Amino acid sequence: MLVRYQIEGRTAAAIAGSVETGVRTGRLGSGAALPPVRALADELAVSPATVAAAYRLLRERGMVETAGRNGTRVRNRPPLARRMAKMPPVPAGVVDLSAGEPDPELLPDLTPHLREITPAGLGYRTGGPLPELLDAARDRLHGVPTAHLTLTSGALDGIERVLTAHLRPGDKVAVEDPGWANLLDLVAALGLVAVPLPLDDDGPTPDGLAAALSAGAAAAVVTSRAQNPTGASVTASRARALRAVLRPYPHVVLIEDDHAAELADGGLHPLAGATASWAFLRSAAKPYGPDLRLAVLAGDETTVARVAGRLRLGAGWVSSILQRLVLRLWQDPSVAAEVTRARQVYADRRRSLVAALTGAGLAAHARSGINVWVPVPDETLAVTRLRDAGFAAAPGAMYRIASGPAVRISVGPLRPHMIEPIVAALAAPGRISVGA
- Give whole-number Cα distances, 212 to 156, 157, 208, 275, in Å: 22, 24, 6, 15
Question: pLDDT tens digits, residue range 77-89?
Answer: 787 765 544 455 7
Q: Which of 264, 303, 304 is nearest to 283 (CA)?
A: 264
Instruction: Cite the beta strand spans of 295-385 per DSSP E.
Output: 295-299, 371-375
Question: What is the dotted CATH code of the domain comprising 95-104+335-426?
Answer: 3.90.1150.10
Return the CATH architecture of domain 117-331.
3-Layer(aba) Sandwich (3.40)
Q: 178 preceded by cis ω (within 30°)?
A: yes
| Cβ neighbours of residue 99 closer than 8 Å, sequence gap 6 or more | 394, 410, 412
- Give whole-number Cα distances, 15 to 30, 36, 39, 240, 397, in Å: 18, 13, 14, 50, 29
38 vs 47: CA distance, rounded Å: 8
The pLDDT of residue 82:
55
Phi-psi domain of 83 (left: phi exceeds 0; alpha: psi -120 through 50; beta: other) = alpha
The conformation of residue 33, written as its DSSP 8-state character, comes to B
Provide φ and ψ at 89, rounded to 5°.
Answer: -70, 150
Q: How far is CA 249 from the centre of its chain?
A: 25
The pLDDT of residue 81:
63
Task: Report CA dihedral (243, 246, 250, 253) to the nearest 10 degrees.
Answer: -100
Going by CATH, does the domain composed of 12-74 fall within 2.40.170.20? no
The pLDDT of residue 150:
97
Q: Which contiguous run of DSSP H or E holds residue 194?
A: strand 193-200
329 vs 338: CA distance, rounded Å: 11
* pTM attached to this predicted model: 0.86
Neighbours of 279 (CB within 10 A): 29
The pLDDT of residue 1:
42
Handedness of CA 110, 113, 115, 117 (dihedral sign): negative
Residues of the chain with pLDDT under 70: 1-3, 68, 81-88, 120-121, 430-436
Q: Which of 436, 430, 332, 309 is nearest to 378 (CA)?
A: 430
Domain boundaries, the chain: 12-74, 95-104+335-426, 117-331
